[in-house]
Amino acid sequence: MRIALFAAAAVLAAFPAAADEAAIQLKPGPGLDKVQGNCGACHSLDYIQMNSPFLNAAGWNAEVAKMMKAFGAPISDADAKTIADYLAKNYGT
């Protein structure tokens, strides 16, 4: 019973914080659906906007490769190319 009360309290405490978070709006373009579906499945899309001042096309290619190889993201090679192209075009330096 104590665990259930603790869990309920934790959920209620976290709810107001989540309510203030704004939805991430990425730039429209070819490949956006692949980015949202693949990248957004594992982490916030905030990371794209946070890293955009630092990454060029080679950097985005490396980031996508890292997600696949180091973190095991289940992204096909075709989707990886589409994602990297989208990120480089819309968020590259």
Q: pLDDT per residue over 35-52, tens digit each?
A: 999 999 999 999 999 888
10 within domain boundaries: no
**Average pLDDT for the chain:** 86
Domain annotation covers residue 6: no
Residue 51 lies in a domain: yes
What confidence score (pLDDT) does residue 80 get? 98
Residue 36 lies in a domain: yes
56 belongs to a structural domain:
yes
CATH number for the domain spanning 30: value is: 1.10.760.10
Residue range(s) defining the domain that contains residue 73: 24-91
Q: How many structural domains comprise the chain?
A: 1
Residues 6+ apart with CB under 8 A from 90: 26, 27, 29
